[in-house]
Chains A and B, each alone.
Chain A
Amino acid sequence: MAQTLQQTPLHDRHVELGARMVPFAGWDMPVQYEGVIQEHRAVRTDAGVFDVSHMGEIEVEGPQAHPLLQSLLSNDLDKIRPGEAQYTLLTNERGGIIDDVIAYRLGECRYLIVVNASNREADYRWMKEREIRGSEVTDVSAEYALLAVQGPRAIERLALQPAKAFTFAEDAIDGIEVMVNRTGYTGEDGCELLCMSDDAVALWDAVLARGVVPCGLGARDTLRLEVCYPLHGNDIGPDTDPISAALGWTCALDKEFTGVEVIRGVKDEGPERKLVPFVMDERAIPRQGMAIEGGGEVTSGSHSPMLDVGIGMGYVPGAQAAADTKLAVDVRGKTRTARVVKRPIYKREG
């Protein structure tokens, strides 16, 4: 059955630029414009812009918004004030990860939760069903567009003032009102610009006019993998717990939230398997689903444009999880050696 793909407000711009469009999470999205590798390098050396308007935005407000979210999200929202943001997990009763999200504290009693496109409906339903008196959960995704402008020169090219990571502020770019969020998914400096959907085309044009390179989802994936940011659906999911996924730092185990007792149990006993980054020692590219000898599995794999070598992440038994451990990856029937490395896989020198 043919399914109609959703389009972001920038769809026509992507097509005009000659982007290669692919279906992603029900959306028709650009995977690349000129090429994944050159877009990747643009973000590592200068600045690139990604249309991530397919991502969802859920607003939670009311006098009970804070206690509601404290009970649903793994990280401790008491640690952030209005104007600050936090990476956190929406967890289920089994301690699994329904989604990894960023919570922006708009006010004492008002939050914006930015969620993965593929999980938007599940996240909204989960939160809406658990709404308590004095809190209101609203899916506002259709109202907004989101542009991620990333790279060492991103802030300079947008003529924005320096600010700390995980803060945000109202601002304007060429007269277009934006919420400038100092967050991203590339490991680089930069920001994510949230604007009204109707302003998306003007904002996109303004960003490109400042010499920022348009980048597709292909580069977004290789960039995040080089810095070991997990991708929900690949590396983490409803059946993986945060401790095994090396996301224990996002869990405030001294507070109560959905599934916390299970997560505490995994932490106390030690996880059976751990998500580790690895680099191939032989010429080969690991891919999602490949077996790792000893009971492990690759959950993300690709070619690192910066290191020019195959890289990946995967779950391995605890005994194989230490840095420098040799791994044997089954690459379509051929055994190829890799070694576990420390996070991140890629870091700029100096």
Chain B
Amino acid sequence: MAAVESYPDDLKYHEEHDWARIEGDEAVLGVTWFAADALGELVHFEPPEPGATVTKDASYGEVESVKAVSDVIAPLSGEVLEVNQKVVDAPETVNEDPYGEGWLIRIRMTNASEADALLDVGAYKNVLASQ
């Protein structure tokens, strides 16, 4: 079952429909409900390798539905510590729980100040409203 539309208050957002949950010098990254809904049920996640470098505003992976492919944009720069194998094995987890079980990767941030430039939930909702 696809999740109901929601955007948690405790996350930082990127206008390309990605979120970050900052935990100390680490961050968990994923895509928002809007991105998952726009693509439809996900059937593939092409993740980065653990140890790889991700760069803010650049693609670090791809998510695919039956009909379309979409780059996943990094909201923050860092080193990949962990890939969510559950999403690799069952990509529809992203549709079912985009902010919980459907997280994509965990990184160690290399420039924590980048987080200051991310959107809070209100600003992200304004981005959605203007689309």
> A residues within 8 Å of B by Cβ?
31-32, 35-37, 218, 222, 283-285, 287, 302-303, 305, 308, 310, 332
Contacts and interface: CB of A to CB of B under 8 A. Distances in A.
B94 to A, nearest CB: 14
A218 B66 contact: yes
Nearest to A310: B44
B69 A36 contact: no
B66 A305 contact: yes
Given A36-B41, A308-B43, 7 more contacts: A31-B67, A36-B67, A218-B66, A284-B46, A285-B44, A287-B69, A305-B66
B44 A283 contact: yes
Contact of A36 (B44, B66, B88): B66
Contact of A303 (B46, B62, B64): B64
B131 to A, nearest CB: 15
Given A31-B67, A218-B67, A287-B69, A37 B41 contact: yes
Contacts of B41: 35-37
A222 B66 contact: yes
A36 B64 CA distance: 13
A285 B88 CA distance: 13
A297 B64 CA distance: 20
B40 interface: yes
B73 to A, nearest CB: 16
| The 4 nearest A-B residue pairs measured at CB | A303-B43, A36-B66, A303-B66, A37-B41
Contacts of A31: 67
Interface in B45-89: 46, 62, 64-67, 69, 88
Nearest to B46: A284
Interface string B27-39: 0000000000000
A330 B44 CA distance: 16
A332 B66 contact: no
Q: Which residue of B2, B64, B65, B66 has the most chain A CB atoms within 10 A of its CB atom?
A: B66
Contact of B40 (A32, A287, A302, A332): A32
B89 to A, nearest CB: 9
B62 A36 contact: no
